[in-house]
Structure 1
Amino acid sequence: MDQDELINAYLDGKLSPDDKRLFEQLLQEDPVYLQALEEQRQIKLAVTLEERSKLKDFLREIDRNEARLLAKTNSLKSWLFAGVAACLIVLVGYFLWTSLSTTPGEKLYQTYYQTYPNLVAPTVRGSSSGGLKSEAFLAFDNRDYEKAAVLFENLIQEPNSEFAIFYLGICQLELGRPEKAIPSFQKIKENASQPDKPTALWYEAMGYFKLNKLEEAKLRIGKVAQANGHALQSQAQEIFQKLE
């Protein structure tokens, strides 16, 4: 090998023990080799230092990037945590507010109330006429309870209009006016067939639940619970047990 290769091999520790011993002997005997070795050593040192400097700069840049990334991540985590925490606070607050602000009667009302269906004058699609009765039930089926209430109230003046009294009460419940609904249900007679008295008592009880008047509601529900074979009997018994 030539001089440079021999010197680099010596500096890199790649010479065999015998070759190393011969090279060191050569350095003692030939000043040219010694000077060349020192120059090469300085070059390698400079290159090493430069590389280390670059490496340090590179590593510092990585550290800075990691620090920025960590800061962003922490900021994002903080933001996410704050956002989640805020959502949880809102949800918990809403839950507590609704739970605490909802009365026992209102809870029973929300659980058991269902709109009574139109079983008197089924609406025929495409029909726009048929008298006041058809118009009232068309509005009822379309959930226009305000209009239906007015029409049912007009129907009350006609003969055989007990159904109109009952459905007026249903409209008032749907409109959130239980105090106006209850008197309508109370007008349904014991021998009424469509709707029958137990059904009227059930919805009267719903009105009292809405007003959170539990004792009045319990009295009506108790009567429905005793109506053997009635469609609402089992639900009435369930509610009655809850009120005991």
Structure 2
Amino acid sequence: MEREELIDKYLQSELTSSEKDQFDSLLENDATFRDEVELFKNLKVVTGTEDRDKLRKSMADFEAKIAANETKVIPLFNYKKLLVAASILLVVAIGGITFLNPFGVDTNQLYADNFEPYKNVVTPIVRGENDKDDEVIAFTSYESKDYNLAADQFETLYETTKRPYFLLYQANSLLASDKVKEAIPLLEKHITLQDELSERSKWYLSLAYLKENRKDEAIVLLEEILEKGTFKKGDVERLLKQLK
């Protein structure tokens, strides 16, 4: 197995027994490999990011800022330690919008990193067909990212049909419009109806709870998702690691 792939799997705790033997042997006998593993471990701890490509991008961004003299850097003992400083992300290097909290997780950032509106799995849109159907119209608005309009249309559809999935899509429309407080009761209601998409609502409700800084409630939901099925299993496991 390629060395970089071994590091990726190590960061995500996915090494098999044989891969672990190979990893341990390289770690013991190859100083360059050992240094690279240590670098990515340090970056993972500070950023909460396990993907090696994302970590490399963070470092590249930091280097570019240094090259352009856009940040002040305290001299460090060697270049790799300088790269580790990229994991502070850099109040100075990347714009200073978010300062990592050493005493806890940034739940608002976790929400931003993980939220994307749920795809339309209910009513495929075929342009020119059934354009006057209210459900098609609503999902067309949704797929066109006209989320405020879509939210109103899904609300009306739920009131007239009582089909539970309209609650999920109305809530997603509201989340995409940054109306988290309005989305939460819809997701909670959809979960109680226990239709085939209710596990999806648990995922989006957990994210909404994070946005509202309700970390403990988010963790409970994520653990339920992990226990009951495979929906977004990798994302759920990763998010739980970041929260605990």
The TM tier, using the shorter chain, reads 0.5 to 0.7
Q: Distance in 2 between the 1:150 and 1:212 partners?
A: 27
> Residue 154 in 1 paired to residue 156 in 2?
yes
Name 1:88's counterpart in structure 2: 71
Which residue is equivalent to 1:236?
236
Q: What SS does structure 1 have at the residue aligned with 2:186? A: helix
CA distance in 2 between counterparts of 1:201 and 1:220 reads 6
Checking the alignment, whether the CA contact within 8 Å between 1:226 and 1:233 is kept in structure 2 is no
RMSD: 2.5
Aligned to 1:97: 96
- The alignment's TM-score, normalised by the length of structure 2, stands at 0.58
What is residue 121 of structure 2 aligned with on the other side?
119
Q: Deviations over 1:202-237 (max 9, x none)?
A: 100111112222112111111111123x22233212
* Offset at residue 163 of structure 1 (A): 1.1
In structure 2, do the counterparts of structure 1 residues 215 and 174 end up closer, same or farther at CA, with 3 Å as the change threshold?
A: same
Count of equivalent residues: 158
Alignment partner of 2:117: what SS? coil
The DSSP-based 3-state class of the residue aligned with 2:94 is helix
Q: Please, which moves more after superposition, 120-129 or 202-211?
A: 120-129
CA distance in 1, matches of 2:146, 2:134: 15
**Alpha-carbon displacement from aligned partner over 1:38-72 (angstroms, at most 9, x marks no partner):** xxxxxxxxxxxxxxxxxxxxxxxxxxxxxxxxxxx
Partners of 1:93 and 1:181 in 2: how far apart? 35
CA contact (8 A) 1:227 1:233 kept: no
Q: Quote the Cα distance in structure 2 between the aligned partners of 1:175 and 1:164.
A: 16
C-alpha distance after superposition, 1:4-56 (max 9, x if no partner): xxxxxxxxxxxxxxxxxxxxxxxxxxxxxxxxxxxxxxxxxxxxxxxxxxxxx
Please list, as runs of the form range in 1=range in 2, the aligned pairs for 1:61-72 lying within 5 A after superposition. none
What amino acid is the match of 1:241? Answer: K
**C-alpha distance in structure 1 between counterparts of 2:225 and 2:235, whole Å:** 9
Structure 1: 5+ residue stretches without partners: 1-83
Shift in CA distance, 227/234, structure 1 to aligned 2, threshold 3 Å: farther
Equivalent residue in structure 2 for 1:192, among 167, 183, 194: 194
Q: Shift in Å at residue 96 of structure 1? A: 5.8
Distance 1:132 1:94 in 2: 49
Classify 1:190/1:232 alpha carbon distance in 2 versus 1 (closer, same or farther; 3 Å).
Answer: farther
With over 3 angstroms needed to count, the CA separation of the structure-2 counterparts of 1:173 and 1:94, relative to structure 1, is farther
Distance 1:177 1:186 in 2: 15
CA contact (8 A) 1:172 1:178 kept: yes
Q: Quote the offset at 1:101 in angstroms.
A: 8.1
Pair 189,201 (structure 1): closer, same or farther in 2 beyond 3 Å: closer
Alpha-carbon contact 1:225-1:234 (below 8 Å) kept: no
1:87-136: CA deviation from partner (whole Å, max 9, x where unpaired): 437x8547363222897112211222222000111111234623211110
| 1:218 match | 219
Larger mean Cα displacement after TM superposition, 217-226 or 164-173: 217-226
Deviations 1:124-150 (A, max 9, x none): 123462321111000001010011011
1 CA distance for matches of 2:107 and 2:205?
13
Q: How far apart, in 2, do the equivalents of 1:188 and 1:177 lie? A: 17
Helix, strand or coil at the partner of 1:207: helix
CA distance in 2, matches of 1:190, 1:146: 25
Show structure 2 runs of 5+ residues with no match.
1-67, 73-89
Task: Give how far 1:239 is off.
Answer: 1.5
Q: TM-score, normalised by structure 1?
A: 0.58
**1:169 corresponds to 2:152:** no
Q: How does 1:47-86 map to 2 (within 5 A)?
A: 84-85=68-69
Letter in 1 for 2:182: K
Pairwise CA distance, 1:193 = 3.3
